[in-house]
Every structure is written in C-alpha cells, then in structure tokens.
Structure 1
Amino acid sequence: MNFRRRGTEEPEINLIPFIDVLLVVLIFLMLSTTYSKYAELQVRLPLANAEAQRERPREVVVSIAADGRYAIDRQALEGRSVELLVQALLSATKGVQEPIVVISADASTPHQAVITAMDAARRAGLQQLTFATQRSASGR
C-alpha cells in the first residue's frame, strides 16, 4: 500500500492570450473613433464642451441648413443657385493645392440642396469631396 500523498498541482492561468485580445480591442477602438465638426449654420448638433477646432487649410466646408441655405467656410451665401456656389467655391479655394470639399448638411436638408452642392463642386473642378457625419445620441 502506498500511503504517500501525491502533490497537487496548482492550476496556472496563461495571461498572454488575454493580453492579445485586449490589444486587438484597443486597436479596434482607436481606429473606429470619429470626430465631429461644428459649422456656423444651425444644423442640430448636440452641445458639448470641446476644444477649439484646429485649422485645416486644405478643407473647404460647405454647410447646408435645414431650409437649404448655404455657407462656405462660415460665410453665408445670399442665393441658392449652382453658379453662385461655383463662384464661391472657386474664390474659397484660390491658391489652395488639392482642396478637399466637406459637405456638412443638416439631417433634414432637402436632397436637392446636397446634390446642388456636389454639382457646384464638380463644375468648379474640385475632385476631392467628402461628407461630415456624426453618430446619433444613443450611439447606435
């Protein structure tokens, strides 16, 4: 008979896979973070205490209000025609190499107002065009 006690081994937890998963989640969160911009027109943005917007010299922001009014780089335009937008875009991008047009439209802006801004950018010869968006308040 063997009355000797067998030594019980302590279970060991391997932390390396746990750390790998945490790093992947951290990288995913860093890459999926978005930043919002604020414009001169009222476009139903939430209030927040944020740092001042950094100047981006290559960007020309075209803001479109809910009623279809336009503003280019916080300068309100008096009309809504394509020709007026083309002239304003050309004067705003004078001397800027490869400007980026950012269309920031209210959620309830008529579709035609956004298409007019896109057409004006095309007629002005501006090829880089993007849209400003933001997440909903619920985050989904």
Structure 2
Amino acid sequence: MFHNRRKQEVSVNLTPLIDVVFLLLIFFMVSTSFNRETQIKLELPEASGDPLETTPELIEISVDSEGRYFVNAKPIVNTQLETLMKAINIVSKGNKDLPVVISADSKAPYQAVVTAMDASRKTGYYNFTMATRKPGNQ
C-alpha cells in the first residue's frame, strides 16, 4: 500500500554564482583608480564673531606658505615632528595649561598643519585653536 519512495534531495549549485561574484570583484578592482594626494592645499575657513581676548602667555604655532614652522614667532630649524615638539616644550616650560593657537597660511601644505596638530597633541596639548580670519579681511 504505502511505498517508501526515496525523496531526492534538492540542491542548488552555488559554483556558477561564486564564479560570477568573483569575476565582478576582479572587474571592479581592475577598473577602480586610486589617486594618492601627496599635498593638499588648505584654505582656512572664514569665521565671523568677536575676536577672543589674547592672553599674554600662549603657544602660537605658525605655518607659512612653504610649510616652515614658527613657535611664538621664532623659526624652527627644520620641519621634523620631533624638532617641533622640542620647540613647543621649550616655549611652554612644562606648563600644560597654556593655550595653543595654530595659524597657517592659506597656501600652507596640509601635511604641515597636520604635523603641527600632531606635535601639540604628542606634547600634551589636546585642546588647540585654529586661527581664521574674518570674511573680507586681508
């Protein structure tokens, strides 16, 4: 009466699907172009508002258009991170409460500004201010 029929297992062959996905992956990897920016120009933003009262004691890190550093208007010998960190430590005399102001020329290399931020962070100054100019002021 009842016959035990074996049911065939239904299976989906995933090999062609994996092949197609792999080919798409290779296609996108080959067709994608990677640009490596070596130097990004920085145009500092304009900001409006009341200027902050300047305190007589602060650490001002300036970056000129050629990427040279000045700490409190004194030029730094080279553009190495370690040299900039030593200059910050000398000027601060170990006082970690001094405010840090980073001002950079609008044509300064972006990496130079990032290096100034890294130097202030690695010497223990985590809060620093970026100097901007008011719109229309030259």
Q: Structure 2 unaligned runs (5+)?
A: 1-47
Higher-Rg structure is 2
TM-fit CA distance, 1:97: 4.8
Q: 1:34 is matched by which residue type in structure 2?
A: P
Please list the CA deviations of residues 84-111 of structure 1 after superposition, one character each: whole Å capped at 9, or x if unmatched.
Answer: 0000001111153511110010011111
8 Å Cα contact 1:99-1:128 kept in structure 2: no
| Partner Cα separation in structure 1 for residue 78 and residue 51 of structure 2 | 32
| Partner Cα separation in structure 2 for residue 121 and residue 138 of structure 1 | 28
Please list the CA deviations of residues 42-88 of structure 1 after superposition, one character each: whole Å capped at 9, or x if unmatched.
Answer: xxxxxxxxxxxx6521x100010000010000100110000000000
Q: Does 1:34 align with 2:15?
A: no
* SS in structure 2 at match of 1:130: strand
Q: How does 1:59-138 map to 2 (within 5 A)?
A: 59-137=58-136
* SS in structure 2 at match of 1:78: coil
| Structure 1 stretches of at least 4 aligned residues deviating more than 6 Å after TM superposition | none
Q: 2:88 is matched by which residue type in structure 1?
A: L
TM-fit CA distance, 1:32: 3.0
* SS in structure 1 at match of 2:112: helix
Q: How many residues align?
A: 91
User: Which residue number in structure 2 is paired with residue 9 of structure 1?
Assistant: none
| Partner Cα separation in structure 1 for residue 83 and residue 117 of structure 2 | 13
TM-fit CA distance, 1:127: 2.0
8 Å Cα contact 1:105-1:132 kept in structure 2: yes
Q: 1:123 is matched by which residue type in structure 2?
A: K
How much identity, in percent, do the aligned residues show? Answer: 32
Q: 1:60 is matched by which residue type in structure 2?
A: I
8 Å Cα contact 2:85-2:120 kept in structure 1: yes
Q: 1:56 is matched by which residue type in structure 2?
A: P
Q: Structure 1 unaligned runs (5+)?
A: 1-30, 37-53
| Partner Cα separation in structure 1 for residue 124 and residue 51 of structure 2 | 28
* SS in structure 1 at match of 2:100: strand
Q: Does 1:56 align with 2:56?
A: yes
